[in-house]
Amino acid sequence: MAEEKKILFSGMQATGNLTLGNYLGALKNWVSLNEDYECYYCVVDEHSITVRQDPAELRQRARALLILYIAAGLDPEKNCIYYQSHVSGHAELAWILNCYTYMGELQRMTQFKDKSAKHAENINAGLFTYPVLMAADILLFQADVVPVGVDQMQHLELTRDIAQRFNGIYGDVFKIPEAYIGKVGANIKSLQNPTKKMSKSDENPNASIYLMDDTDTIIRKFKRAVTDSESEVRYSPDKPGISNLIDIYRAATGKTVEEVEKEFDGKGYGDFKLAVGEAAANLLKPLQQRVAELSKDKAYIDGVIKNNAERANYTASKTLRKVQKKIGFPERIR
């Protein structure tokens, strides 16, 4: 009898354009995980509306992100790929968990402070309770593991605290999720400020390589990348700009640091930047071609959306009914 797979949950927001950093740091590494885990990958559109969105653009971006998941190699037969807004259990469980989360816990969340500073004209309640919805996302599917970056660790800790508090009152209802520690993706930095990670929300378009950028745009951005006043292609903490480009080149070609340094020994930054740009463009070309193919196949994508929403709702409803019964909501008459 085959051992039951552990459950893994993750997702990305349906805002902005995904970057090379998102691809190399997360998406590319998700592809092999279904061998070891039962995977749920969410297009996180409910979280997106804590900031005002253009409705038509949000719909378009959500579909584009779901297509990108598949184009990157996530098989929707082996992985459950769905829209958060198509599974009402996310919002239902979030309301319940709000009642088991303390104001002081939410006030300590550093992302709330950061986003409040960025969106001072729209500090809404959703921005404040965002971590509770994230907890609901994870606990709804009884996730064993969650791949999280350093910036999300605080939210995962809160999720664990809420689950343990709820279990302490009502018994063994939720699994206590762990951070996924597996193959670490490349940590890609901004091309204009290599002390910060490459971000899809960066206001400077030259700072990030977007997954749908064409070859000319990619090469132009790399030519403008910040390096240093030297000309030696060498990996070193005191050369963050050139080290970041080496990391990107390594991720795109599979070469080691030593091989990269040897390849460009005696060559200047101009040659190296061009090579990195060409390697990145070649890496993204198959992905872009697959996106173009999938975008034309409306019936297939619509089928994935429908079937995966049904799968996600089936699993989510099992947890939600259990929670509702525990807290005393009336049983549904069927």
- Going by C-beta distance under 8 Å and a sequence separation of 6 or more, which residues neighbour residue 288? 211, 212
In our burial notation (b when 16+ CB lie closer than 10 A, e otherwise), range 146-167 reads bbbeeebeebbebbbbbbebbe
In our burial notation (b when 16+ CB lie closer than 10 A, e otherwise), range 244-268 reads bbbbbbbbbbebeeeebeeebeeee
3-class SS at 42?
strand
Q: How far is CA 138 from CA 4, 94, 108, 161, 168, in A?
A: 19, 11, 20, 13, 18
Give the separation between CA 58 and CA 69, rounded to whole angstroms: 17
- Catalytically annotated residues: 115, 197, 200
Give the separation between CA 95 and CA 60, rounded to whole angstroms: 28
